[in-house]
Amino acid sequence: MTITSKKSLAAVLLSASLGLSVAATASAAETGLSIRDFTPNSLIKSDGSYWSWGGKTPVPNELRGIGAAEQAFFDGDIDYLIEKTDGSLLMLKPGSLAALQTYKPVQGLKNAAKIRFNGDALAIDDSGSVFVSGRGEENAYDYSVFSPVGGISDIVDAAGYTESSPSAYAPHWLLLKKDGTVWRDTGRLTGFKPVPNLTGVSSVGENAALKKDGTVWTLPTEYDKALPTSTPSAVKVQGLSGIRSLKTARYGGLLAIDLGGNLFYKGYTITGWSDGTSINDQGAPVRLTGVRNVEDAWVVERSLVVFTNDGSVYETSLNRAKLPANAKFRLLASGIEQVEAGSRHIIMQKKDGSLLGWGVNKNGDLGSGDYEFEHDTPVPVQRAISVSLNGKDVELGGGVITQKSQTFVPLRSVFEQLGAKISFVSSSKAVTVSRTANGKTTSIAIDTKTGATRVNGKAVQLEQAPFAVNGITYLPLRFISEQLGAKVSWVQAQDTVAITLE
């Protein structure tokens, strides 16, 4: 279960020339809009615009018409809900392209302090009241209506987990009250009973609890026979003491950080692939000596990723029979301010405000503009850039991709709105863009395989050849727009490429 809460404002983005004569600046505050919040697959700018990537959109692309966003609530690698600056919420319904995402106003909830997901969505407001949406499997992942949950109050946090037996399974919630007691629902949030020995608790995650005395406790999740009919007691995890931070990991694992910044891992390693995959229980917690001064940690795909308090991010593989105490960690990045982790990748924000992605990129999850299955070294997340035509925003199905300071846009996203006719021959990958104005026709022919380009039959040399990403052809925005009679400029303060056509 993913934990999501409000974040502080981040630093501003780096300046990028985009091939549009962007002036160099000495002040970071002059480089454009900053990032207010981000998740593993989205960002919110300081102007409240919401941008997401993944699927058929390999770079940040804006979801328009939602108003000013404050933060996104995500589960793993999917944003389900967006909170606006006025406290209202929207439920996202992803489309095949980020620009085609739709949304639905959420009823029954405002000013959510925290939202947790476990099939259902459980929300906690500032007063400690609890709300639920999507109750029951038939309504799973439909979070458009929240209802108040009675019989429980003064809640500061919650965590969802599932109990299973050979014949049944049952989802449950643990709810942490302000007084440090933990209560377990008796089924679908219809009743609540205190967990007998969970008092003095500071945080919960899935079936685990961290007490204020630094000890860690877990509730059982698997039963040999029938599921329990009464609230089970928690069991103290041996080998963990003086713990200040606790996080649950995949396959029921635990990541614990003690007061000295030491990292302990109680979980699993993975060997084999596909049908031959084996999950190997590590047993007792292992103190990992290869990394120190740990601030946070995550299990991401088959790696253990660690963020240290000097702004460094490290990784070690869990793709082995056993994780030794002296496992070596390799440096992924330094100068990092914040990390958001999904199940298979991470997004990191540097001190200059720019974003980096690392990990599995099968569905364009890193926002880097490509579909390489994974990136073993961090890659830049593409800058979130808008395009306007005569002052009106242009909707971009595939987003703006910047390569070597040049801006490229999807074939049909801008040029047709300039009044151009476009033809594309899939067999030869030949593109023709033509426009007639004032009795004069301009025709641009491009071989997207070789980059060979002709304007009205005359060969010209492009600085960079067009390219295709996941079947979408990207063409150089400035070159074609200006050939068609438009003026192109870079509005740095708004992160916008402005096209003017009379």
pLDDT digits (tens, 9 = 90+) for 269-316: 999 887 788 888 988 999 999 999 999 999 999 999 999 999 999 999
Question: Where are the chain's structural domains?
Answer: 386-500
Which segments in the chain show pLDDT lower than 50?
1-30
Question: For residues 29 and 140, what is the distance between their CA atoms, to the nearest angstrom?
Answer: 43
- Cα→Cα distances 202→179, 217, 244, 479, Å: 9, 12, 9, 58
Contact indicator for 418, 484 with CB cutoff of 8 Å = yes
pTM above 0.85, yes or no: yes
In the numeric block, which tokens belong to residue 368?
Answer: 């880097």
pLDDT at 324: 96
CA 446 from chain centre, in angstroms, equals: 36
Q: Which residues pair with 286 in a beta bridge?
A: 265
Q: Residues of 225-243 as b/e, b for ≥16 C-beta within 10 angstroms?
A: eeeeeebbebeebeebeeb
pLDDT at 137: 60
- Cα→Cα distances 139→93, 126, 148, 158, 286, Å: 14, 26, 17, 21, 40
pLDDT at 197: 94
pLDDT at 99: 54
In the numeric block, which tokens belong to residue 339?
Answer: 């990390």
Q: Is residue 391 packed enough to be buried (19+ CB in 10 Å), middle (13-18) or exposed (0-12)?
A: exposed
Instruction: Identify the helix (H) or strand (E) that includes residue 482.
Output: helix 477-483
Question: For residues 331 and 203, what is the distance between their CA atoms, to the nearest angstrom?
Answer: 30
In the numeric block, which tokens belong to residue 300?
Answer: 């991401």
Q: What CATH code is assigned to 386-500?
A: 3.30.457.10
pLDDT at 97: 55
pLDDT at 465: 87
In the numeric block, which tokens belong to residue 66?
Answer: 């939602």
